[in-house]
């Protein structure tokens, strides 16, 4: 399957919420849909789910207008939508029956997913009695009850402890491996980088940047380098030494407790000039590479610069 969002725009009254959003995602892939609060992510998701139409543009599945009557979409919203006073199994079965499953099929599916997420013991209790993390797991199970072809996850790891986060990561990975289309929205960039090869960053209703994460990182900046020190004790001296090079405009220590080094912003010189200067000075260096920004840095720069 291939899902295409083609030039969609949407306004509510005089407020333009989306303006020309385009992206494509195929079976067995996860797309990171990113943006600050209010950027237009949720509106995009709702248009994909046909909760309301765009003012212009279209959403295609395998080249045809998407029809939710013939495709299963599982949506896990950031604001949870389950019934706190209903028993877990009761509402899981209810959601599956809404999608056309028989009661027997729904119970079997629910029990399989409850076991997969270590939640079998809670099948007969009211949702409100569960911890926030366990309620989150039940929400994911509800999302997957219809065995969806397209899975849309909005902040799925919010509030989870590391053990439950690992369990949910395994389930998300299984969805991708099973050939489902996964659209993943989160402000936790480490999860985006783990699951997604491609991202779309929306800001003020427009695409600020989109494409493969590796390509975006490689094209992001050409005037920075990472200089790795021989050990942490050498970083201060290395930073001072590099700061004295005339072609260096800025230095900062690498903010990673496992790595010792300096991020260098270059002026007129290039990395080759930096490497020569370090060699001539006999600097305590174990390596120099082109600087690769984190996804969080890219997100902040694009959303701040375009806002």
Which of helix, strand or coil describes residue 108?
helix
For the chain, which domains are there?
1-71+149-212 (3.40.50.300), 83-144 (no CATH), 222-290 (3.30.70.100)
Which mean pLDDT values do the consecutive 10-residue runs of the chain (307 residues) have? 96 94 96 92 94 95 91 88 93 92 95 95 95 91 94 88 89 94 91 92 94 88 86 89 89 82 86 91 90 88 70
**Contact residues for 112 (Cβ-Cβ < 8 A; gap 6+):** none
Predicted TM-score (pTM) of this structure:
0.85
E-strand stretches of the chain = 2-12, 15-26, 30-35, 56-61, 64-65, 73-76, 150-154, 181-185, 198-203, 206-212, 224-229, 248-253, 261-266, 285-290
- pLDDT for 305 equals 53
- Contact criterion met (CB below 8 Å) for 164 and 137: yes
Q: What are phi and psi of 238, to 5 degrees?
A: -65, -45
User: Can you tell me which residue has the tokens 């046909």?
Assistant: 50
Q: What is the DSSP annotation of 27-61?
A: TT-EEEEEE-TTSSHHHHHHHHTTSS--SEEEEEE
User: Can you tell me which residue has the tokens 């729904």?
Assistant: 106
Which of helix, strand or coil describes residue 187?
coil
Tokens of 185: 């929205």
**Contact residues for 71 (Cβ-Cβ < 8 A; gap 6+):** 61, 149, 150
Tokens of 113: 């997913």
Q: CA of 233: how far to CAs of 9, 256, 259, 280, 284, in Å?
A: 54, 14, 12, 21, 10
Paired with 5 in beta bridges are 23, 59
């Amino acid at each position: 399957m291939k899902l295409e969002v083609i030039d969609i725009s949407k306004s509510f009254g005089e407020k333009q919420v989306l303006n020309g959003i385009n992206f494509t995602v195929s079976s067995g892939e996860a797309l990171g849909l990113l943006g600050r609060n209010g950027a237009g992510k949720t509106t995009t998701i709702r248009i994909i789910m046909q909760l309301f139409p765009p003012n212009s543009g279209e959403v295609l599945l395998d080249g045809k207008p998407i029809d939710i009557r013939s495709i299963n979409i599982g949506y896990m919203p950031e604001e949870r939508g389950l019934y706190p006073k209903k028993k877990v199994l009761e509402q899981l079965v209810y959601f599956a029956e809404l999608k056309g499953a028989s009661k027997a099929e729904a119970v079997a599916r629910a029990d399989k997913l409850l076991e997969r997420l270590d939640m079998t013991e809670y099948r007969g209790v009211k949702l409100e009695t569960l911890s926030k993390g366990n309620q989150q797991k039940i929400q994911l199970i509800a999302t997957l009850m219809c065995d969806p072809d397209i899975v849309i996850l909005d902040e799925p790891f919010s509030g989870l402890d590391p053990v439950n986060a690992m369990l949910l990561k395994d389930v998300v990975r299984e969805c991708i491996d099973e050939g489902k289309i996964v659209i993943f929205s989160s402000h936790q960039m480490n999860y985006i980088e783990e699951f997604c090869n491609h991202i779309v960053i929306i800001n003020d209703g427009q695409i600020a940047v989109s494409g493969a994460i590796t390509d975006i990182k490689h094209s992001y900046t050409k005037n920075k380098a990472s200089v790795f020190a021989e050990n942490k004790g050498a970083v201060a001296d290395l930073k001072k030494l590099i700061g004295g090079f005339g072609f260096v405009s800025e230095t900062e220590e690498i903010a990673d407790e496992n790595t010792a080094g300096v991020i260098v912003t270059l002026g007129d010189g290039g990395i080759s000039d930096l490497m020569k200067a370090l060699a001539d000075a006999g600097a305590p260096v174990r390596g120099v590479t082109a600087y690769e920004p984190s996804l969080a840095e890219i997100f902040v720069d694009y959303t701040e610069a375009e806002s």
